[in-house]
Structure 1
Amino acid sequence: MNAPEERAALTPASTPTASPTSVPSAPALSLYAYALRLHRAEPGGRLPEGGYALPAPPGRRSRRTRAPWKAACAALTEALAPLMAVPGTAWTGADTDRAAHRIHLRLADLSVREGHVQFVVAELPLEDEGWARALGRCLTRTGTGVMAVCVGLALLTRLGEPEDVPYLRTLGQLKDLAGHAVRALDAIDRPTAALVWLGHYASGPELRALVDALAAVDDLSVGDDPSARSRLDAVLRKAGAVRPETARRVAEAVRLADLLREHDARDAGLVAGAGRLLRRMSSVNDDRAEILACPVAVGLFEAFVVRAAELPPTLDHYATLLSVALELHSGPSRLLEWERGRREALLDGLESVLSRSACRALPDGEPAEDSGSGSGADSDSDSDSGFGSGFGSGAGSGSDGQGRVEWARSTALRLFGRDAERAASAGRLRIEATVLDPVDPYVVETRILIDGLPLVPAAFGRGPAHSPEYLLDSGRLRATGEPREVQLAEAYCTEGCCGALHVTIRRDGDHVVWSDWRRPAPPLSPLPARELPEYRFEAAAYDAEIARAENDHSWTWPARRAARLIAAGVRDRPDLLTRWDAEPYWIGTDFRNRDIVAVSLRCRARPAAGENGRDGKNGENGGDGEVGEEVPWQYVMWHIPADGTAPEDLAAAALRRLATSDPRTYGGGGGSR
């Protein structure tokens, strides 16, 4: 839009009364002009946290609909498809204005949501991309209705060009349009898309200061701007605690791979922060692995490994390097488009750095003190700063002490020792119980690799695979004479919300077959959607791999070993809990302190004094009401500190207590449900 056009868009005019076939007069104020006016009033051009509210009255906002999804999409397709056709061989701006006006009118008669618009426009056949692009620009720059502007944004998601970036960036400051604008920008200008996303979603002083600094830099060049660089350093020092998508957007907004290639070779803080961001981007515990949505991920890994040798030998740096190596070894990053041998070369480079004498001494002795700018404090967590409460809040004594040292020693051996060499030449199925850095939450994952590629991130993308206790200790992955369905992974928000990944495992002669997959529709992902194939494994090799994984306890630590022994004891002796009208709900280690065993039980509520109720559903053994009345469950959480007692003795003592006293009396409570 040139200067006269911009002035026209910013000048209020009368509401049009034109017929559907006429060219409408200028709208009172387009949403773009409204957002631009508000942005110009911001000191220093700052981006508003959470975005600006829309100016329209309720009737002009997107309306909710109870119409079935397919019916709403069909009606929207019928309304939009004719207007995607080119009106003539020599169409002009007046034609796009007229078509945009018709779209406004047709959408006013429909009860649809933004999601319908995105879905329908993404699938519309476009006879002439030039016409569709011009129509998208007209709608985004002059549109006055939310749904009409959404149509324009969806068209530019498919067809946008660099000249559209300023308009999309401005529209992205309206909270109802931010996601749509970011989606369109992602296809054109990743750094700007990331800045708009951070401007809308980032919170807390460090991240907001970085957003303000980036917004004030015309070309988003951080390296040459002292203010932006100092604010980036503040974020990188806590990068181990940011949420995965925030980590990705920060890396994209500051062009982190370019910074690593171009900046001062003595800048250990930048290198360490990049490693922490890579670690967070690779996490699958917050839904999808954000590393797979980062188009420059391979370059970022390469730039980080090139600079890795500059990090001073501290425990935090050692853990960061080891975490990145762990992701390259078996994490979601294996699904990236690597040149042949390149990922293996990066792993060799990290092994070389970790094998230096100064680094090798770290897991064999006391943890080193982290040095100023380079180390960062992963355990520093500010729940009010956009760094996600609980992230990096420590894993008890193991987060910065001997537990982290033991993790580093064990993980390095598993990654680079003889076992790793044998694993590289193993059959097509590999099951790995993987322990992440103890400063991270949810520190244990089961990684299932088929033909060298991680299955769950590729096939599911809504959360990690279940724990080793669930998949291995229970024998669920064993192939038996009868086919059985196994849940390999569940959405972070539970299966009832966003689904789970199921497979049927059966033995077929000399083979074991994984087939009959069940999963929800995959989330938005850069990975191509595909039907899951039937996997066939040689039975002998399959049985050997499952037996190896089930009997490999080298990844555990004392509290986790004790928890597994308690779970096995309860599984083998169900009477330990049935005598108390109880059942196991979850047994493992505490999320916040990995050196505490956590035993969660479900118990039937006991009757009050003087009541003679029986059990839960039919009034016998523990009911507290009339016969036939449902008795609620009481959830009891029992914490057992790992105090140096041998795991076997700790577990035996816990099982003896369960055999002799009611767990409702242990304390640590939980109410009824």
Structure 2
Amino acid sequence: MSAREERPALTSRTTSLHDYALFRHGIEPDGQAPAHGYPVPGERPRSALRFREATRLLAQLLGPAVDDPDPVGAAATLDRRLPQLGVRPDLVHHPLARLPLTNESAALALGRQLVRTASDPTALGAGIHLVGRLGGPEDVSQLITLALLQGFLQPVVTALSALRCDTEVLIRLMDLLDPQDHGVVIDALASREDPAARRWLLNLPVGPGTSSSRARHIAVAVRLADLLQDESVDAFVLAQGGRLLTRMALETRSPAEVLGYGPAIPVYRALVRRADRLPPTLDHHAILLSLVLDLSSGASVLLDWPPGLREELLERLERLLGTPTWAAVPDGGHRHRDRYRADWIRRMRREPLDRTTPNGLRIHVVEHDPEIGGHVEARILLDGRPLVPRLFPAGHSPSPEHLLGQDLLRATPEERTVTLSTAECGEGCCGTLSVTVRRDGDHVVWHGPHQDGIGPRLPEHRFDAAAYDAEVDRARADDTWCRPARTTARLIQAGLGERPGLLARWGILRSWCRPAGPYEDTVEVDFWYGPGAGRDPVGDEAGQWVRLTWRLPDDGRLPGERAAAALERIAAADPKTYSRVTGGNPEYARAVGLRHQADG
């Protein structure tokens, strides 16, 4: 019998989760666990106990167990009775942390027994907590094995940190994990006052998966401010500093992480004043241009800058990037992904490097570096300060298609309410940032909406009407920021909006067009279809809708020609016949004969 044929026996209730993890890792061809870890076998339904009730029941059961002189019997009892409580494994930490451990040796023996033998996830969670609280170096190898199980990486890393394991242990753990799971270990390393951890973190690739919060955590851990202000700082550290700052400035947290990073201004100052030490490469050009965009209109504008310093730094960057050597970088011979990044530099360099803080309205459309994801946002600045991160850090600056494509900021004598941003957690949680827009003679007036609601209220703001209209017209007419795939998507979307009958003919309620990714010229068109097509679904119908996606690879034609051809095909043939199901209700899709993405 092969190892894989033996798997059913290893997923039974009598098999410990530790042995199951060892087995799964042993048969892994590349020695690396899948993303999120191995699924825990024998998943059982958990009751919906309230937190207080769950912790009370856990305390009643765990209290006697941690003092029991018979760890084998106590572990077997917990492994048998905890599933009956129906309590999630992550709740076991709370009552255990509050239990007085009068007999620490008995409690540690129980923890070690559970780590080795528990087949119930909640019992295993209790064992990991006790070992992390009371154990020693001899427990590290077993904990590492359990880190490979789904849902147990964070508890294990917490336990390893409590045991003060060597930095090398955490670094080796990374080799066993899928890259998607590295963040938990990186955060643990960033919390260490350890030169070895700092060196490793400083050399860690800062890529698309580096979140804004993790970037700040790393910057603090490696003491970035001290490194950059050292007169001997080298180009590698300067570039890493730029990457970390750029990610901290992203509007992905509440508020932007750069605003909570104490040394942000000294770091910007040291980095920009030494930027001429960077060799003029495409990567370095992209880093410095990202800093320009942040300092010009991003959340970094809201830092407590000394008078004139931000403007000085922008002027330095503009002067450096404008030198012949640096200006020629994006025009060199580039292949594959670098070509897209060079095109991005050329598009964003057309935006004036605004070193002023003008009165009134300014709309700055910014496409981010493809290495960060290439998303595009329309930053609204009032009197030189970005509106969304200043008033509504729970949201993001809107897309230009939403703000400008729909001409939302156009002012008329009739007052109307415009939603500029919705909280990432949802309108019902942290609300929206909305303004009312109205023309009042020679002025345009913005103020917060009259109705009560969740979210900030914008104080009244008056603009000169002529200047306001000129800025809205300028922003709407400017498409220099838009790459060809995005232009194609915008034209298709606009065409569908102008001809709603194209989709209604095929029973499709709505659509959305977008580039497939920052390094692709492919356009994706999403269609939503389901029972009751042609109207908003109600009742049970809402759960049966599906999303279909039509991919349009680049064929070398201009965006206008590609968009016209796409609209002609939609008019001539039902999109359901050449699109693939990529979301929604799979059962409904199969019932009506729609093709899935993996189908031939």
Q: TM-score range by the shorter chain?
A: 0.5 to 0.7
Q: CA deviation at 1:263?
A: 6.0
- Where do residues 274-353 of structure 1 align in structure 2 (5 Å cutoff)? 274-353=241-320
Deviation track 1:576-611 (CA, whole Å, cap 9, x = no partner) reads: 111112133322222454522221122234xxxxxx
Q: 1:616 to 1:433 in 2, by over 3 A?
A: closer
Q: Secondary structure at the match of 2:329?
A: coil
Q: CA deviation at 1:457?
A: 0.4
Deviation track 1:280-305 (CA, whole Å, cap 9, x = no partner) reads: 00001355311111121111111111
Match of 2:489 among 555, 563, 576: 563
Aligned equivalents of 2:278, 2:526: Cα separation in 1: 42
Q: Secondary structure at the match of 1:439?
A: helix
Aligned equivalents of 1:639, 1:290: Cα separation in 2: 36
Deviation track 1:250-282 (CA, whole Å, cap 9, x = no partner) reads: 1122221111112633x2111110000000000
Q: 1:661 to 1:268 in 2, by over 3 A?
A: same
Which amino acid letter does the alignment assign opposite residue 570 of structure 1? L
Q: CA deviation at 1:493?
A: 3.4
Matched, 1:234 2:194: no
Partner residue in 2 for 1:215:
192
Contact 1:604/1:632, CA 8 A, preserved across alignment: yes
Partner residue in 1 for 2:218:
250
Q: Secondary structure at the match of 1:541?
A: helix
Which amino acid letter does the alignment assign opposite residue 320 of structure 2? V
Matched, 1:544 2:456: no
Aligned equivalents of 2:536, 2:285: Cα separation in 1: 59
- Where do residues 376-455 of structure 1 align in structure 2 (5 Å cutoff)? 397=336, 400-416=337-353, 420=354, 424=356, 427-441=359-373, 443-455=375-387
Partner residue in 2 for 1:457:
389
Matched, 1:271 2:232: no
The TM-score with structure 1 as length reference comes to 0.57
Partner residue in 2 for 1:573:
499
Match of 1:663 among 541, 552, 575: 575
Aligned equivalents of 2:572, 2:276: Cα separation in 1: 57
Aligned equivalents of 2:495, 2:190: Cα separation in 1: 57
Which amino acid letter does the alignment assign opposite residue 63 of structure 1? R
Q: Secondary structure at the match of 1:565?
A: helix
Q: Secondary structure at the match of 2:371?
A: coil
Contact 1:239/1:277, CA 8 A, preserved across alignment: no
Q: CA deviation at 1:426?
A: 5.9
Partner residue in 2 for 1:596:
522
Match of 2:561 among 630, 634, 649: 649
Matched, 1:361 2:328: yes
Match of 2:445 among 513, 521, 526: 513
Matched, 1:499 2:467: no
- Where do residues 100-249 of structure 1 align in structure 2 (5 Å cutoff)? 208=185, 211-212=188-189, 215=192, 217=194, 225=195, 227-235=196-204, 237-238=205-206, 241-249=209-217
Aligned equivalents of 2:264, 2:423: Cα separation in 1: 24
Deviation track 1:67-89 (CA, whole Å, cap 9, x = no partner) reads: xxxxxxxxxxxxxxxxxxxxxxx
| Seq. identity, % | 42
Aligned equivalents of 2:227, 2:351: Cα separation in 1: 32
Q: CA deviation at 1:362?
A: 0.6
Unaligned runs of 5+ in 2: 1-49, 55-96, 101-131, 134-153, 155-178, 586-600
Deviation track 1:99-137 (CA, whole Å, cap 9, x = no partner) reads: xxxxxxxxxxxxxxxxxxxxxxxxxxxxxxxxxxxxxxx
Q: 1:470 to 1:629 in 2, by over 3 A?
A: closer
Q: CA deviation at 1:401?
A: 2.4
Q: CA deviation at 1:425?
A: 8.1
Q: CA deviation at 1:567?
A: 1.2
Q: CA deviation at 1:481?
A: 3.0
Q: 1:588 to 1:213 in 2, by over 3 A?
A: closer
Which amino acid letter does the alignment assign opposite residue 250 of structure 2? S
Partner residue in 2 for 1:63:
52
Aligned equivalents of 2:518, 2:475: Cα separation in 1: 26
Contact 1:588/1:599, CA 8 A, preserved across alignment: yes
The TM-score with structure 2 as length reference comes to 0.64
Q: CA deviation at 1:413?
A: 2.6
Q: 1:249 to 1:541 in 2, by over 3 A?
A: same
Aligned equivalents of 2:351, 2:536: Cα separation in 1: 53
Contact 1:240/1:277, CA 8 A, preserved across alignment: no
Q: CA deviation at 1:238?
A: 2.4
Q: CA deviation at 1:668?
A: 2.4
Matched, 1:534 2:460: yes
Which amino acid letter does the alignment assign opposite residue 590 of structure 1? A
Q: CA deviation at 1:230?
A: 3.1
Q: Secondary structure at the match of 1:512?
A: strand
Q: 1:209 to 1:336 in 2, by over 3 A?
A: closer
Aligned equivalents of 2:439, 2:238: Cα separation in 1: 49
Partner residue in 1 for 2:546:
634
Contact 2:359/2:384, CA 8 A, preserved across alignment: no
Aligned equivalents of 2:431, 2:490: Cα separation in 1: 27
Which amino acid letter does the alignment assign opposite residue 255 of structure 2? R
Matched, 1:487 2:419: yes
Which amino acid letter does the alignment assign opposite residue 201 of structure 2? L
Which amino acid letter does the alignment assign opposite residue 253 of structure 1? A
Moved more, 630-639 or 242-251: 630-639
Aligned equivalents of 2:528, 2:231: Cα separation in 1: 56
Partner residue in 1 for 2:17:
none
Q: CA deviation at 1:630?
A: 7.3
Partner residue in 2 for 1:475:
407
Q: CA deviation at 1:664?
A: 1.0
Q: CA RMSD in A?
A: 4.0
Contact 1:616/1:629, CA 8 A, preserved across alignment: no
Contact 1:604/1:631, CA 8 A, preserved across alignment: no
Q: Secondary structure at the match of 1:271?
A: helix
Which amino acid letter does the alignment assign opposite residue 410 of structure 1? R
Aligned equivalents of 1:214, 1:483: Cα separation in 2: 51
Aligned equivalents of 2:535, 2:475: Cα separation in 1: 40
Partner residue in 2 for 1:12:
none
Aligned equivalents of 1:64, 1:616: Cα separation in 2: 48
Which amino acid letter does the alignment assign opposite residue 275 of structure 1? G
Q: Secondary structure at the match of 2:52?
A: coil
Deviation track 1:533-587 (CA, whole Å, cap 9, x = no partner) reads: 1111121211111111111111111111111111111111111111112133322
Partner residue in 2 for 1:126:
none
Q: Secondary structure at the match of 1:669?
A: strand
Q: Secondary structure at the match of 1:264?
A: coil
Which amino acid letter does the alignment assign opposite residue 443 of structure 1? H
Contact 1:500/1:519, CA 8 A, preserved across alignment: no
Which amino acid letter does the alignment assign opposite residue 560 of structure 1? R
Q: 1:260 to 1:617 in 2, by over 3 A?
A: closer
Q: Secondary structure at the match of 2:425?
A: coil
Q: 1:216 to 1:344 in 2, by over 3 A?
A: closer
Which amino acid letter does the alignment assign opposite residue 312 of structure 2? A
Unaligned runs of 5+ in 1: 1-60, 66-141, 146-172, 179-201, 218-224, 369-396, 523-529, 606-613
Which amino acid letter does the alignment assign opposite residue 478 of structure 1? R
